[in-house]
Amino acid sequence: MHRRHCSPSSSGSRPGWADGARLKAFYCDHFELPLPEGHAFPMSKYRLLHEQVAAHAARWGIELLEPPAATLDDLLRVHDRGYVQSMLDGSVTAAMMRRIGFPWSVRMVERSRRSSGGTIMALRAALDDGVAVNLAGGTHHAGHARGGGYCVFNDAIIAARHVQAHGLASRLLVVDLDVHHGDGSAELCAGDDSIFTFSMHAARIYPANKPPSDLDVGLQAGSSDADYLDQLARHLPQAILRSHADAVLYLAGADPWEGDRLGSLRLTKPGLAERDRQVFQACRQAGLPVATVMAGGYAPAVQDIVDIHLRTVHEASKSVASN
């Protein structure tokens, strides 16, 4: 497939949801992280998702774009200089890499920067078109001077700080619907009301330490579609109202699915698609641009993860088409 880089928009205005726009989808799966045989992380999901989105792109009105890497300035707005430098030059400790769960490599660092660049570009595109997606991202366990849980850099907060620094948006809402609590995001935004963090997650799974988000909803193990969607319908409008946001970063995890190995909720695939529809509808009704990232997913069969993420992309494309 032909690759081209997408140049950032120079517009500083907030245009709302555009009529007739194509959904921009950013991908970086060709910067694949080398993992040892039998590693638990489903790295192939990014390539498979890109392939399936490409197969539907013409019919769904999707434009696939390769993002640039997040710059050093982008990273340093969020992360500790010493931590970033140790990642770039490979001096990071073995203990830190064990916490993250990946072996260090130059390709790992490049992929992490590209994934963050994809979320930056998705947010910039959403500010123009109303909605855009990154086919990676959702690395919400990375904090100021640490990574964790397969997360090196916190792409959502990096993107939020990027648009703030460039005068494109002042206030952001992070809607984190991964099954795991967004501990890194909560840590990074504590005491700063310009980024409102909303995390709806399973209450009694990783991470053990859950610093408070601006709005946390901890769900009991075994929560069903009906339970989950009821809580979302109750709390998402609160988050939108309280955030006074200019735009939304939506972490659409596949891991609330009933078959996920690392989750404890019992959502079906149609239930997850309805979750996505509700988020896009609420953002559209509020006039809030929304950048969507794929976040976690650890089903035994990688195709189940891809199916869920593909439905998220489809719901995003339908939101654009409905304007």
The CA–CA distances, whole Å, from 128 to 23, 169, 180, 211, 247 equal: 11, 12, 30, 33, 11
Nearest CA to 248 among 294, 214, 292?
292
Residue 253, amino acid: G
**141 noted as active-site residue:** yes
DSSP secondary structure string, 111-159? Answer: HHHHHHHHHHHHHHHHHHHSEEEESS---TT-BTTB-BTTBSS-HHHHH
Q: Which residue has the tokens 């130059």?
A: 106
Residue of 50, 79, 140, 141 marked active site: 141
In contact, 90 and 104? CB cutoff 8 Å = yes
- Cα–Cα dist 323/288, whole Å: 13
- Cα–Cα dist 291/248, whole Å: 6
The sign of the torsion formed by the CA atoms of 28, 3, 292, 221 equals negative
3-state SS, residue 26: strand
**Residues identified as active-site:** 141
